[in-house]
Structure 1
Amino acid sequence: MKDELDYLIQRVCNSKKKKKFDEEAGWKKVQARNFHKKKKRHSVILLWSGCAACALIILGCILFVNNLSEPQFPTPLAHNESQHPTLPAKVELTLANGKSIDLEDINDLLEEELGISITRDSIHNQLTYRNNEEHQDSIEIRYNRLVVPRGADFSFELPDGTFIVLNSESVLRFPVQFAADNRTVYLEGEAYFEVTKNENSPFKVITGERKVTVLGTKFNISSYSDDPNWSTTLVEGKVSVSDNGKLHVLHPSEQYIVDNQTGKAEVQQVDATLHTSWLNGKLYFKDTRLEDITRKLERWYDFTFIYQEEDVKDFKFRGVIDKDRSLKETLSLLEGTKVIRFEIKDHTITILKK
């Protein structure tokens, strides 16, 4: 197994030699052949690359990690075992009447003033939110606010059956009850949606000036304001994205991506599994800038990264990080590339060149 893996990695990663193969295809073959056997030891590549005189220089090493699996269309946390043994205590739900709910201790809640009930599935750590029938004709649309902090993710089900997983450092505003002819929520951060189909009531996700509209589908939205890009990635079904007066329709494995600095937007073909891998506790990177990687690590581990030298931010890596591993293990993987090292003081991590 190891000999075969080393051979495949050499084919994919040896960029200094004249290529007689498609590197992208080679990378997919490595994933397909070496990540499909569960509960066995697998390898992960973390490669650093930089650009000089139009030539790509790749340095790296092969590091071995337990229990890594092939990226696959996600089975959301509520349908399987939750990544966290208990609900994150810091997740905050503020109801439309101003009442704050402790999601760690709640089992069943009936809020008569709003006409809602909230039930916790203790096995899967999923919350189910429901409206009571006698309040369906309320004339005022009022919003609840769910805040997921750094170091947590959270899953719950809306009254229409729509399933949502919120990633770290995300906020979702959703109505006490949906209007009869439309279902609208507001997102800051990142979330995965499995929308229950209702042809008479489209589901809308609004993030700033952009709006994603669906009838029934599976998709991911990443709308962090400090990320270089805004994106929505379609897993299944069809969605439309309204952006600056223009409408873009996406099909499965397509992504609408916008540069947050320039505003330039495009639709591109992607491997949707890579953009939803966080649901299964994995962070996959493909020639990704170190600054973009550490930004995700900051949200998950609740640490702050600083750089001794600015050019280190542009070092590029390829590989996979298991979110269930400790921060120390994750940093060791990155240090194993022999190009950077870390100094930790309190909740701040300084990145230095080796």
Structure 2
Amino acid sequence: MDKEKMDKEFEKLWNETPLSHSESEKEASWEQFQSKTFAAKKPKFKVWRYAVAAAVIIFVLIGTGIYFNGSPLQDDIYLTSNTVENTTSIIKTVALPDSSRVELSPNSKIVYANNFETNRKIIVEGEAYFKVTKDKKHPFQVFCNETTTTVLGTSFTVQENAQKGVTVSLYEGSVQMNVKDQDKKWILKPGEKFIYGNNTAEVAEFNRFTDFENEKLSIVSDYIKTNYGYTMTIPEEYSNQRITIRINKKEDLKTIVQLISEMYNLKFEINDEVKQITFR
């Protein structure tokens, strides 16, 4: 209320109250004047206070939106995550919360959510081999540069190339490939690899097997040492035994060991602490 209106209101109230009124009546008149004059000022403070609160909420949401949109996982971005980096010179095996397994190559890194069992999305930098546990309700997706690998099967490698390209090689099962801002999808079969770089994509075949044709068993032992890091000990009388076998290059080590044991009727023991396989 401006000064002119305030003066008129004051004069009106004053004229309505004779000088013969008691002190209590005068006090009541003054309170009436105050209520009429200053009542409108209170809401102004409340409106301003709520406006500030709204501004804070909007700011927080905008900040969150920027964080979400900046993520390769888009609206499925996680606020807390786990990062595993291999700074060694040998392959590092990582067990994921859903029982899937990752063989992380040197100078490579993966990032995945704390709630990975229900949010099976993972970012790869470098090279990693995945052995995925099947879960139809929760798709397994791997993000590398502009590509997304959706797992429909179990066993594949993802390799980030120096020129920011990506190669996905499928050993078992099936995977679907997508590229950012492209509607086309590529479904890979075992023995196929997806190559993406310089905004072009192609699918090619590769040999996913290693063949041993009438080789000494010791040659297979050398292969296991080179590719899995385990030393294989066999009875001396078997060292010159010959073997013909085809091995998936990313086959689980225990599967290979069981196959050898059945072929030669041997028992075996695997010591993971010292990376030793002993046949008896």
Q: TM-score range by the shorter chain?
A: 0.3 to 0.5
Q: Relative contact order (C-alpha < 8 Å, sep 6+): which is higher?
A: 1
Which structure is larger by alpha-carbon Rg, 1 or 2?
Answer: 2
Scaled by the length of structure 2, what TM-score is found?
0.45
Query: Which has the larger strand fraction?
Result: 1
Query: Which has the larger helix fraction?
Result: 2
